[in-house]
Amino acid sequence: MGYNKKRQSQEVNAGSMADIAFLLLIFFLVTTQIATNKGLTMILPPPKEDNIDVPLNERNVLKIQVNSADKVQIEEEPVPNLDDIDKIVYDFVLNFGEPDDKKRGKSNMSDRETFQTLPATMKNYITRNLSRDDSSEGPSKAVVSVKTDRGSGYDMFIKVMDEINAAYYRIYGERVGLTAEEYRKLNRNDPRQRLLYEKGKLGINKGISLAEPTAVGGS
């Protein structure tokens, strides 16, 4: 039988392609897990007009600055090793340079009462190495102020904040016989673990202040 050159080629029926593409799109939307960036778990300050200026004794403020070159300074002294921030903040918060009997914070405890709740090892460390008259008067008054420049890197800021938080977790953990990492992982939905969590923070809430960035980078 001869081949018919005029025979028309068979057409592909693409009528259902749109339906198939739509079903695939729905499938991927339903099954795909999209990672979300949760950011920093911090409470933002109130609007500037609502701020109330509270006079602070300079000794109760630990000033940490990250300049535009991502160099870190504490009280205008360079800190080449970021691991040192943990110890500096730890000593500053627990200095107990001039504890008083005034009850403060959510715990409604004075610094003197807070000191008495610490384990013997922490008391001995404070008595032997701290209680300086050029550092914080007590945990309830201690404020760690973090200031950046407009050109400061976000990664460096996060690293500094991690070290500051690590110091607080170390304090809380030591109070209840845990490491900083163990304390951080306590499950607050479990009554026993929640009790440990609250006991660790008793009288020592985080005092972290984020200062407004400067327009010009530091040295």
pLDDT score for 106: 86
Q: Could you tell me whether strands 143-148 and 77-78 are parallel, antiparallel, or unpaired per DSSP bridges?
A: unpaired
pTM for this entry: 0.75
* Pair 145, 209: CB distance under 8 Å: yes
Over the chain, what is the mean pLDDT?
85
Least confident window among 31-40, 78-87, 108-117, 168-177: 31-40
Strand order in the sheet with 77-78: 77-78, 72-74, 61-66, 143-148, 208-210
pLDDT higher than 60, residue 51? no
pLDDT score for 129: 96
128-148: average pLDDT: 95
pLDDT score for 48: 54
pLDDT higher than 90, residue 26? no
104-122: average pLDDT: 94
**216 vs 78, which has greater pLDDT?**
78
> 35 falls in which pLDDT band (50, 70, 90)?
low
**38 vs 7, which has greater pLDDT?**
7
The domains of the chain are located at 58-210
CB atoms within 10 A of CB 89: 24
